[in-house]
């Protein structure tokens, strides 16, 4: 993922931009599969649980004829996405906010409830996610509220609780709780 290339049959193929990996995980039928190691999980920007659709959305799924790929509409062209990615780098992240992020990351490393805190890569990805969130929110700057809003989906899969023999679902719930506790303990910049 980091090299933006793949190898198959002794051939290496460079993947063109925009490059992204979207992965799904089925926690029920996982026989024959193995959880990703922490070093690979750390390369994903977000971890989100989608849950079940709302009753209205599920009713609509049941009533509509089977959807096909032909019915999927383009919402963003490749060139537009590349421009947005470049714009993310122009979003301001004030030094005081960078210190706030660093304090949160440091708190994960010092937390007695965690066997492993957020890596330096996790911090870099966190600030990148904050900038992207500010951009889609129509701002050219990040706020402490952005940090609080994105902390769980960006950091939860990057930390390991002391009792890491938990089920995957339980582990995520525990790490989310720990991240919330850390956010309550770390001073928010004014």
**β-pair type (114-116, 160-161):** antiparallel
**Predicted confidence (pLDDT) at residue 82 exceeds the cutoff of 80:** yes
Q: Where are the alpha helices (DSSP H) in 14-143?
A: 38-41, 55-63, 78-88, 95-110, 120-136
pTM score, whole prediction: 0.80
Cβ neighbors of 163 (< 8 A, separation 6 or more) are 174
Sign of CA dihedral 16, 17, 22, 23: positive
pLDDT at 172: 64
Mean pLDDT for all residues in the chain: 87
pLDDT tens across 124-146, in order?
Answer: 999 999 999 999 999 999 999 99
pLDDT at 152: 95
Over residues 80-99, mean pLDDT: 95
**Predicted confidence (pLDDT) at residue 165 exceeds the cutoff of 70:** no
Q: Can you give the residue ranges of every domain in the chain?
A: 5-23+69-185
pLDDT at 91: 97
Q: What is 5-23+69-185's CATH superfamily?
A: Magnesium chelatase subunit I, C-Terminal domain (1.10.8.80)
């Amino acid at each position: 993922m980091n090299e933006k290339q793949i190898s198959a049959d002794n051939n290496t193929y460079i993947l063109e931009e925009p490059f992204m990996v979207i992965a799904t995980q089925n926690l029920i039928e996982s026989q024959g599969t193995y959880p990703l190691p922490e070093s690979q999980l750390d390369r994903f920007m977000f971890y989100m649980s989608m849950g079940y659709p709302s009753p209205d959305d599920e009713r609509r799924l049941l009533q509509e004829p089977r959807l096909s790929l032909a019915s999927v509409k383009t919402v963003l062209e490749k060139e537009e996405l590349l421009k947005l990615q470049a714009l993310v780098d122009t979003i301001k992240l004030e030094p005081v906010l960078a210190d706030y992020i660093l304090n949160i990351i440091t708190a994960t490393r010092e937390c007695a409830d965690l066997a492993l805190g957020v890596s330096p890569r996790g911090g870099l990805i966190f600030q990148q996610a904050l900038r992207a969130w500010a951009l889609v929110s129509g701002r050219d700057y990040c706020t402490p509220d952005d940090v609080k809003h994105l902390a769980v989906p960006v950091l939860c899969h990057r930390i390991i609780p002391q009792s890491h023999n938990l089920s995957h679902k339980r582990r995520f719930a525990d790490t989310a709780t720990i991240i919330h506790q850390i956010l309550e303990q770390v001073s928010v910049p004014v």
